[in-house]
Structure 1
Amino acid sequence: MAVVVVLAVILLAMVGHSSGAWCVCREGLSEAMLQKTLDYACGAGADCGPIHQNGPCFNPNTVKSHCSYAVNSFFQKKGQSPGTCDFAGTATVSASDPTPSLMEALITSRVVPLRILCRKLSSVSADFSCLEFKRYPCRSGRVSVMNHPKLLRPVTASVQPQELSALGHEGNIVPSKEIMDLWRDVEAVCFDVDSTVCVDEGIDELAEFCGAGKAVAEWTARAMGGSVPFEEALAARLSLFKPSLSKVEEYLQKRPPRLSPGIEELVKKLRANKIDVYLISGGFRQMINPVASILGIPRENIFANNILFGNSGEFVGFDENEPTSRSGGKAKAVQQIRETRLYKTMAMIGDGATDLEARKPGGADLFICYAGVQLREAVAAQADWLIFKFEPLLNSLD
Structure 2
Amino acid sequence: MMTTLSQTKELFRRADAVCFDVDSTVIKEEGIDELAKFCGVGDAVTEMTRKAMGGSMTFKTALTERLSIIRCSREQVNKLITDHPPQLTPGIRELVDRLHQRNIKVFLISGGFRCIVEHVATQLNIPLHHVYANRLKFYFTGEYAGFDESQPTAESGGKGKVISMLKEQYGFKTVVMIGDGATDLEACPPASAFIGFGGNVVRPQVKERCSWYVTSFGELLKEMEKI
Corresponding residue of 1:3:
none
Instruction: Please give the secondary structure, in 2, of the residue aligned with 1:256.
Output: coil
Structure 2 counterpart of 1:231: 60
Identity percentage of aligned residues: 47
Deviation of 1:182 (Å) = 1.1
Match of 1:131 in 2: none
2:209 is aligned to 382
Q: Is 1:392 equivalent to 2:223 in the alignment?
A: no
Decide whether the 8 Å contact of 1:372 with 1:387 is kept in 2. Answer: yes
**Displacement after TM superposition at 1:322 (Å):** 0.3
Per chain length, whose mean CA-contact separation is higher, i.e. which structure has more relative contact order (CA < 8 Å, sep 6+)?
Answer: 2
Q: C-alpha separation between the residues in 2 aligned to 1:326 and 1:178?
A: 29
Identify which of 97, 119, 122 aligns with 1:290: 119
SS at match of 2:187: coil
Superposed displacement of residue 180, structure 1 = 1.7
In structure 1, what is the equivalent of residue 172 of structure 2? 343
* Separation in 1, partners of 2:32, 2:12: 30
**Contact 2:8/2:194, CA 8 A, preserved across alignment:** no
Q: Distance in 2 between matches of 1:242 and 1:235?
A: 10
What is the number of equivalent residue pairs in this alignment? 223
Q: Report SS of the residue matched to 1:194.
A: helix
SS in 2 for 1:393: helix
The alpha carbon displacement at 1:181 in A equals: 1.2
1:330 counterpart = 2:159: yes
In the alignment, the residues of structure 2 paired with residue 304 and residue 202 of structure 1 have an alpha-carbon distance, to the nearest angstrom, of 12
Partner residue of 1:196 out of 25, 47, 55: 25
Q: Once superposed, what is the RMSD of the aligned Cα atoms?
A: 1.1
**Counterpart residue number, 2:85:** 256
Tell me, yes or no, if structure 1 residue 205 matches structure 2 residue 29: no
Distance in 2, matches of 1:366 and 1:274, equals: 19
What does residue range 16-35 of structure 1 map to in structure 2 within 5 Å? none
How far the C-alpha of 1:384 sits from its partner, in A, is 2.7
Question: What's the CA shift for 1:391?
Answer: 0.7
Q: Is the contact between residue 366 and residue 384 of structure 1 (CA under 8 Å) also seen in structure 2?
A: no
Question: Of 216, 222, 243, which residue of structure 1 is paired with 2:45?
Answer: 216
Corresponding letter in the other structure for 2:216: K
Q: How far apart, CA to CA, are the structure 2 residues paired with 1:257 and 1:344?
A: 32
Who is 1:246 aligned against?
A: 75
Match 1:310 to one of 133, 139, 153: 139
Alignment partners' CA distance in 2, 1:279 and 1:384: 22
Q: Which amino acid aligns with 1:216?
A: V
> Are 2:175 and 2:193, in contact at CA under 8 Å, matched by a contact in 1?
yes
Contact 1:282 1:325 in 2 (8 A): yes
In the TM superposition, what whole-angstrom CA distance separates every residue of 1:359-393 from its partner, at most 9, and x where no partner exists? 01xx2111100001111111111113100001111
In structure 1, the gaps of 5 or more residues are 1-171
Q: Deviating runs (4+, > 4 A) in structure 1? A: none
Q: Which structure 2 segments of 5+ residues have no match?
A: none
Pairing partner for 2:12 from 161, 172, 183: 183
C-alpha separation in 2, matches of 1:231 and 1:280 = 15
1:6 equivalent in structure 2: none
Could you tell me how far apart the structure 2 residues matched to 1:215 and 1:319 are?
A: 23
SS class of match (2:109): strand
SS at match of 1:396: helix
Alpha-carbon contact 1:351-1:379 (below 8 Å) kept: yes
Aligned to 1:95: none
> Normalising by the residue count of structure 2, what TM-score does the alignment of the two structures yield?
0.96
| Counterpart position of 1:265 | 94
